[in-house]
A and B are shown apart, each in its own frame.
Chain A
Amino acid sequence: MIEKELPPHLRIDKAELEKTWDDGKGLYAWLAAVNHKSIGRRYIVTAMCFFVIAGVLAGVMRLQLSRPGNDLLGPDLYDQIFTMHGTTMMFLFAVPVMEAMGVYFVPLMVGARNICFPRLNAFSYWMYLFGGIFIYVSFMLNIGPDNGWFNYPPLSGPQFGPGKRSDVWAQMITFTEVSAMAVAVEIIVTAFKLRAPGMSVSRIPIFVWAMVVTAFMVIFAMPAVMVASTSLILDRLVATQFFNAAEGGDALLFQHLFWFFGHPEVYIIFVPAAGMVGTIVATFSRRPLFGYVALVLSLVSIGFIGFGLWVHHMFATGIPQLGESFFTAASIMIALPSGIQIFCWIATMWGGKVTIKSPMLFVLGFFVIFVIGGLSGVMLASVPLDLQVHDTYFVAAHFHYVLIGGAVFPLFGALHYWYPKITGRMLSETIATWTFWLFFSGFNLTFFPMHLLGLRGMPRRVYTYPPEVGWGLMNLIAGVGAVLMVLGVLSLLINAYRSRRLGQVAGDNPWGASTLEWATSSPPPNCNFFAPPTTSSLDPIWDDPPDQPVVVGLRSDKRDVLITSVLDAEPDHREIFPEPTIWPLLAALATTGLFIGSIFTPWAVVIGAIPVFITLIGWFWPKTPTEGGTQPWPIEHRTLPMPNEAPAGGAP
């Protein structure tokens, strides 16, 4: 199935194809790129930079809290730091990095040449980058947010939150949510319409399913937080009273709006990781995933049920008990699909022969840590117990167990798994083993004591504590663990850096995996696949026959892409995809100006709309037919020719 010999009249001009799909070299080309692999790589690198920065912030917090009455940080700076840590990790690292892996790998896994809406993809990266730069420049200028990543009014409202700090937070949200929703749309349409012929819905790889479920969650959840943050800006800028009880508003309204987003947000972070776990478990057990249908249905049900849990963040607000019980039941119920996934993955390993290489090592770490996090989550679902440990370090322990265990460990596994595909070189297994053990032991040393700290009465978001409460020892231990985690991440960065040149050459499929991204070279050519694949199974590389047909007849001189049907992936029509263009960057710059200006004056929305409008005109300027345009090119017949046959009806 990899590179077949085609008859002369169907042979693909690889050089021309590569040139057609090449985004070019140089600064302008880099700014105008629309290839999902370039943009995916940028996304990953940017997200990892934010991860490191937020990790350093956490290290400083740990230092401050390592003994009672410490005066390394005063309350003002501490409040900014814990806010930036949480905000960066949630909005600038966790969601974008998962999106990034989707942007890079969903098109490859479905056998497509690029992601759908490539210019929107570029736009979404620039919006993400500019939003991140915006909040960090504000932080450096001492106008960064300081009321927590959740930024509740009235503390963040006009009366108690003077200056622009909360506005910066609220508008950064807008940047990242626009970016996330754009990627979500691209992922869904790519997964629905760009699949290789023959990849029916029952043959979609589990990681692609996970990204599709995530994308739907993004589309339904993000608007809620945009309403919350925009309403907050309006309260602060133009004296609306949404959250002011004295004028008929309600502080709890913000919490409902925020957590209606905030709970699905954590599943937006976890579900892609679950897809990564499934992928890696199958590869390293050397057998197809057990319970594919159950796994897909579990992901989908998590996507639905995840929207019914949000009030469990508000159990202490005094809302009626009957309502709270409903959310207890839903929060407990979601443990079931999560548990089923765990059982299916273990069953896959049990039914296969497990080899432990670095990706699998991280996945095993995921199992240990995520199960603990899930169990503490079930504890928190209970109202009376939550009333004791809500807003304490017990919650901090829980969510770090599920987020680091459930997302960062699978991510690290996925980075080790897919690094060879992205760069063409293997990472060092020796250094990777060090990374794992440093990070795993450091993590547990830091966060396990926090369960005890919460039970012993330590609330969250405190910049110091008195000696008589006895929290000093556990905080000190947590600080030691933080050092180990820093060393672990450092080793990962060193590994990634030196393996670019010194790593063993990877080849197409170093792990012997089954999904389509491994059916092309490492790194993939510009066009992803010289001969776009078809498939007849869930594990194409393992199960497709050697004479599995490929797609032929697409143009090599234009970015010609085959669009297929939603359910059965039958060829439907062809489209010419966009060439590199600077307009997404310009549109992002114009939108950035509008967003930043609008925290200072409402007129910015009106005046800022003009440059945005102009850049959108440039972006959408229609192409003439001779340039290819976006007219769909219908295909004349639906059967694919066998390699030793001439096509009936002829290809254009």
Chain B
Amino acid sequence: MSPATVAQSVLDAAGPQAAAIEGLWWLIFWISVGVFAVVMAFLTWAVVHRSDRPTSDSSLTRWVIGGAGATVVILFVWLVASVWVGRAVASPQMSNAVTINITGRQWWWQFEYVDTLPSNRFRTANEIHIPVGRPVVVNVTSRDVIHSFWVPNLHGKRDLIPGYTTALWFQADQPGRYRGQCAEFCGYQHANMAMYVIAEPDNDFQAWLSAQRQPAAEPGTERQQRGREVFLAATCPQCHSIRGTLAGASFGPDLTHVGSRSTIGAGVLPNTAENLIRWVRNPQDFKPGNKMPAHDLNDADLQALADYLGSLK
């Protein structure tokens, strides 16, 4: 068994929301351990003890009422703690927040960075960057079926329901690369609908933002030029967009800066030239049932295409 290299975990909080919830978890965990031990002790004693004088009903009544009373107290403590933490993690702090619109798609994530200046808005897919220490507000919805946005290191989940747009806020207090995954069954490739949230210092984040706002880089080499021609001539523009070219469809992920992402296929494959070729040749090999068809391109064209897409950083 290979050891875990990604800790997509509730118990590995990297932000205040997840930390508050993790604290709540440990509270109820230890209460539960205690309750279980006490109940099992009473049960064992009840089964095992033998006495010639059976315990009187009035004595048993006192014990049961005591147990009920202790239960009420413990449950009330838990209720208060839950509601308190619930309010704490839900209250929005809008000052200096980064706003991202998230739309769930079968089976990838569409992210749109919101800005008051329309020309600063841009779309990307499957991977986002956020600044450490600043709140992030996501407005979530879905274009098809119900999905669920969940990055356990940062916060609890929120369902993406068509017809509803709801807001969720979270924050990362430590830099890192956090994996999230769709958490509401959404069809064939629900299992392979992952995303990455990269939290970095604000300066790095601003640099990333500026780069993402630019249209796609012009091809630098002949092979990349060839790759762009392949892209535009094949069926790719029917689903994908690359800002700065004529490809503008939004059925599939935006590829303007696909070279800057660490995975392709919503987390299914690391983003390397080799994988790009295998993916484009037949995505069904890696994500059977997903909506991208196979492509009958020759090896030279595929290499050129991979080169071009890799250059879109």
Contact = CB atoms under 8 A, between A and B. Distances in A.
A354 B188 CA distance: 52
B114 interface: no
Contact of A76 (B78, B83, B188): B188
Contacts of B21: 384-385, 387-388
Nearest to A386: B156
B190 A462 contact: yes
A379 B28 contact: yes
Interface in B126-183: 140, 144-146, 148, 150, 152, 155-159, 161-164, 166, 168, 179, 181-183
B9 A343 contact: no
B35 A364 contact: no
A582 B146 CA distance: 47
B68 A343 contact: yes
A318 B161 contact: yes
Contacts of B288: 74-76
Interface in B1-59: 1-11, 18, 20-21, 24-25, 28-29, 32, 35-36, 39-40, 42-43, 45-50, 54-57
Given A250-B163, A343-B64, A350 B46 contact: yes
B46 A332 contact: no
Interface in A571-587: none
Nearest to B83: A325
A467 B8 CA distance: 12
Given A76-B188, A390-B183, A457 B10 contact: yes
Interface in B180-196: 181-192
A358 interface: no
Nearest to A288: B57
Contacts of A324: 86
A470 B3 contact: yes
A353 B50 contact: yes
B233 interface: no
A250 B164 CA distance: 9
B306 to A, nearest CB: 22
A291 interface: yes
A456 B8 contact: yes
Nearest to B184: A391
B63 A470 contact: no
Contacts of A340: 64, 67-68, 71
A152 interface: yes
A387 B68 contact: no
Interface string A431-473: 0000000000000000000000011110111111111111111
B179 A332 contact: no
B85 interface: yes
A392 B191 contact: no
B191 A464 contact: yes
A321 B42 contact: no
B60 interface: yes
Nearest to A319: B166
B87 A321 contact: yes
A325 B43 contact: no
B28 A385 contact: yes
Given A251-B146, A462-B190, A350 B49 contact: yes
A368 interface: yes
B82 interface: yes
B190 to A, nearest CB: 6
Interface in B53-98: 54-57, 60-61, 63-64, 67-68, 71-72, 75, 78-79, 81-83, 85-87, 89-90
Nearest to A68: B2
A42 to B, nearest CB: 35
A339 B86 CA distance: 25
B185 A316 contact: no
A261 interface: no
B280 to A, nearest CB: 21
Interface stretch (A21-29, A124-132, A192-200, A370-378): A370-378
Given A290-B57, A388-B21, A332 B78 contact: yes
B289 interface: yes
A75 B163 contact: no
- Which residue among B39, B63, B87 has the maximum number of chain A CB atoms within 10 Å of its CB? B39
B64 A354 contact: no
B57 A378 contact: no
B164 to A, nearest CB: 7
Interface string A129-166: 00000000000000000011000101100011000000
Contact of B183 (A250, A459, A464): A459
Interface in A236-267: 245-246, 249-252
Contacts of B32: 375-376, 378-379
Contact of A351 (B54, B78, B155, B182): B54
B62 to A, nearest CB: 10
Interface string B186-219: 1111111000000000000000000000000000
Given A74-B288, A316-B156, 9 more contacts: A155-B186, A294-B64, A339-B68, A340-B67, A353-B50, A368-B40, A372-B36, A457-B179, A459-B182
29 contacts: A74-B288, A76-B288, A160-B144, A251-B163, A316-B156, A318-B166, A321-B87, A328-B82, A342-B39, A346-B39, A350-B42, A353-B50, A367-B40, A375-B36, A378-B28, A385-B24, A387-B155, A387-B156, A387-B157, A388-B156, A390-B157, A390-B183, A392-B183, A456-B8, A457-B7, A459-B190, A461-B191, A462-B190, A473-B1
Interface of B: 1-11, 18, 20-21, 24-25, 28-29, 32, 35-36, 39-40, 42-43, 45-50, 54-57, 60-61, 63-64, 67-68, 71-72, 75, 78-79, 81-83, 85-87, 89-90, 106, 140, 144-146, 148, 150, 152, 155-159, 161-164, 166, 168, 179, 181-192, 267, 288-289
